[in-house]
Amino acid sequence: MGAISTPLVLVLLFCCLVSVSQAEYLKYKDPKRPLNVRIKDLLKRMTLEEKIGQMVQIERSVATPQVMKKYFIGSVLSGGGSVPETNASAETWIQMVNGIQNGSLSTRLGIPMIYGIDAVHGHNNVYKATIFPHNVGLGVTRDPVLIKKIGDATALEVRATGIQYVFAPCIAVCRDPRWGRCYESYSEDPKIVQAMTEIIPGLQGDISDNSRKGVPFVAGKNKVAACAKHYVGDGGTTKGINENNTVVSYNGLLRIHMPAYHDSIVKGVSTVMVSYSSWNGQKMHANHFLVTDYLKNKLKFRGFVISDWLGIDRITSPSHSNYSYSIQVGVGAGIDMIMVPFNFTEFIDVLTYQVKNNIIPVSRIDDAVRRILRVKFVMGLFENPHADISLVNQLGSEEHRQLAREAVRKSLVLLKNGKSAEKPLLPLPKKAAKILVAGSHADNLGYQCGGWTITWQGGGGNNLTVGTTILDAVKQAIDPATKVVYNENPDSNFVKSNNFSYAIVTVGEHPYAETFGDSLNLTISEPGPSTITNVCGSIQCVVVLITGRPVVIQPYLSKIDALVAAWLPGTEGQGVTDLLFGDYGFTGKLARTWFKTVDQLPMNVGDKYYDPLFPFGFGLSTNTTRY
């Protein structure tokens, strides 16, 4: 082989340098470029395979770096209770998320994935996280400033584990407490739910006044992308049956269930999740009019629309019975990201076939990917794809626990105080000879937190996570000379023979989530009723209800001296005792109507035949005994 001349070498070298410099400068990787320029530049570089991959969200248990690279997967999630290991530390979560991210970054275009998790009352899947009261309690506070602070704290704890996206808030308007997700709703009143959308700027950061309406917004590495859910009408199903049919006129839908979505979009919410439920018989996952025509076109929402878990499968009955049809109408309706979460290759193959055969137009795919990329660019994921350990100390921090304790205080509602108004029982004296603490929920952190806590359905006991039970809070609050006797379910003889000064009885519902919580009778779990009867029939008692909604209480009301609705307060039980013992006064007002009997349901404020046990807005107050 002959020698190559020096001029030719120089020309080749120059060409290589030009080629490298051109390859190094990619508009979509330049944060100084306008958002739409970056989106357009990246989109035109993408193959159909890469675009469809961006539309797929898979479960972490199948999200290996190899899978992320091979299929160009756009997003990963933790299903309820899906964790890298039992009681995983923040560092372990970060290691997992970064490992998955490395797979995404090793693809041809290096598009980072976005990791989502249900953080519906704090970072609730994660051990040692601060668990705030569920929304049913937060609505009672009617305090948007507090709710925004909770959003801010939740964002920090989520980022502490390397995660950038939360499936929250739930802005359902629960119109029937028989619904198993009613505790995820702030109120039966759309105005309260609208006010509580202030959690979105807490999670994402404050959008600027001159921002274009509908454009998603996330203010950097300490914030997360939020998700308004479940679009739309999920809280209005017949008899409160989960995932069922909401029968309401178009005007009724806009008046009751839509207002909070207006507010969420104005506040820059990044994503919207579609509801399993139907509206007047049509599945929301297949509703082009409400998803595309109304949400995207009329409300100008520019973030991405995500399905619920296997949401498109459930378009048909039985589920997944005509998957090709489900994909066609689900994606066609305007859903941009599909929560698969396991059988992703089938989804990819079917959608690819449909696009190549003009069943679904490429323009619909481009719209979906454009929206997904917009959120990723806005979040700064391209500049900061990896999590770091600088925020790990935010998980379960003392500051956040004090905030949760404040939220508990403001969320409790005093429904009764004394057999007569002249003789109130609360606040209780801290100094007494001997007091009784009873009830299945008094010393049970899992019951206190409810569903969506560590696992999907929640659980019982005190080993689930870290927090303060109501029993422990009582022991910390009372005078050291006061003897506390705990008996979960005492008989009346025990109560009468012990000469107690008074009793605190804590009972309620056992944890549940979604369909498992649907209830036609709304009764307190046994042995709650017998504990109330045995204790309150013998001595002065305050009953603290730990429930996700109003429950049947009228049969026991005459026996009870004082009654407190504590809802599902979370890990900070001291917020309950702060009020029982008068360190703070009760201020909470019902954000839900409390029925007399389930036969009255559904019954909401403003109804023609409104005859509640405790009306919407009811709540007694007490004075503080602090000096």
Tell me the pLDDT tens digit for each residue of 225-277.
999 999 999 999 999 999 999 999 999 999 999 999 999 999 999 999 999 99
Q: Does residue 465 belong to any structural domain of this protein? A: yes
Residue 9 has pLDDT above 50, yes or no: no
Last residue of a domain, one of 345, 364, 394: 394
177-208 burial: b if 16+ Cβ within 10 Å, else e: bbbbbbbbbbbbbbebbbbbbbbbbbbbbebe
Q: Point out the catalytic residue in the list 152, 184, 243, 514.
A: 514
Q: What is the predicted pLDDT for the residue at 209?
A: 86
* Domain identity same for 388 and 447: no
Q: What is the predicted pLDDT for the residue at 626?
A: 55
pLDDT per residue over 29-40, tens digit each? 999 999 999 999
354-373 burial: b if 16+ Cβ within 10 Å, else e: bbeeeebeeebbebbbbbbb
23 or 60, higher pLDDT: 60
> pTM of the predicted model, to two decimals?
0.96
What's the mean pLDDT in 400-416? 99
* Domain identity same for 490 and 344: no
Distances (CA, A) of 227 to 269, 305, 367: 7, 9, 19
pLDDT per residue over 344-355, tens digit each? 999 999 999 999
Distances (CA, A) of 530 to 223, 507, 556: 47, 10, 10
CATH number of the CATH domain containing 265: 3.20.20.300
Q: Does residue 590 belong to any structural domain of this protein? A: yes
Residue 579 has pLDDT above 50, yes or no: yes
What's the mean pLDDT in 376-390? 96
Q: Does residue 171 belong to any structural domain of this protein? A: yes
* Strand (E) or helix (H) holding 67: helix 65-71
406 is catalytic: no
Residue 364 has pLDDT above 60, yes or no: yes
Q: What is the predicted pLDDT for the residue at 94?
A: 98
Q: Does residue 464 belong to any structural domain of this protein? A: yes
* Strand (E) or helix (H) holding 541: strand 541-546
Residue 21 has pLDDT above 50, yes or no: no
Q: What is the predicted pLDDT for the residue at 624?
A: 87
Domain residue limits at 185: 50-394
* Domain identity same for 380 and 420: no
What's the mean pLDDT in 80-99? 98
Beta bridge partners of 165: 116, 225
pLDDT per residue over 261-271, tens digit each? 999 999 999 99
Contact (Cβ atoms closer than 8 angstroms) between residue 229 and residue 135: no
* Domain identity same for 359 and 483: no
d(CA 381, CA 579): 44
Last residue of a domain, one of 368, 394, 420: 394
Q: What is the predicted pLDDT for the residue at 328?
A: 98
Q: pLDDT class for 599, splitting at 50, 70, 90?
A: very high
Q: Does residue 28 belong to any structural domain of this protein? A: no
* Domain identity same for 297 and 162: yes
188 is catalytic: no
Number of H helices, E strands in the chain: 21, 17
d(CA 265, CA 302): 9
* Domain identity same for 354 and 501: no
What's the mean pLDDT in 338-345? 98
Q: What is the mean pLDDT of the chain?
A: 96
Q: pLDDT class for 72, splitting at 50, 70, 90?
A: very high
DSSP 133: P
Burial class (CB in 10 A: 0-12, 13-18, 19+), 583: middle
CATH number of the CATH domain containing 491: 3.40.50.1700
Q: Point out the catalytic residue in the list 308, 406, 443, 561.
A: 308
Question: SS in 3 state form for 171-183?
Answer: CCCCCCCCCCCHH
Q: Does residue 260 belong to any structural domain of this protein? A: yes
Q: What is the predicted pLDDT for the residue at 627?
A: 39
Q: What is the predicted pLDDT for the residue at 17?
A: 46
* Domain identity same for 358 and 470: no
Q: What is the predicted pLDDT for the residue at 575?
A: 99
Q: What is the predicted pLDDT for the residue at 14?
A: 54
What's the mean pLDDT in 114-134? 98
Q: Does residue 14 belong to any structural domain of this protein? A: no
* Domain identity same for 377 and 448: no
Q: Does residue 25 belong to any structural domain of this protein? A: no
Phi-psi region at 590: left, alpha or beta (left = phi > 0; alpha = psi -120 to 50): beta
* Domain identity same for 453 and 353: no
Closest C-alpha to 368, from 327, 329, 335, 328: 335
* Domain identity same for 117 and 264: yes
Last residue of a domain, one of 332, 366, 394: 394
* Domain identity same for 290 and 359: yes
* Domain identity same for 379 and 431: no
Contact (Cβ atoms closer than 8 angstroms) between residue 496 and residue 538: yes
Tally of domains within the chain: 2
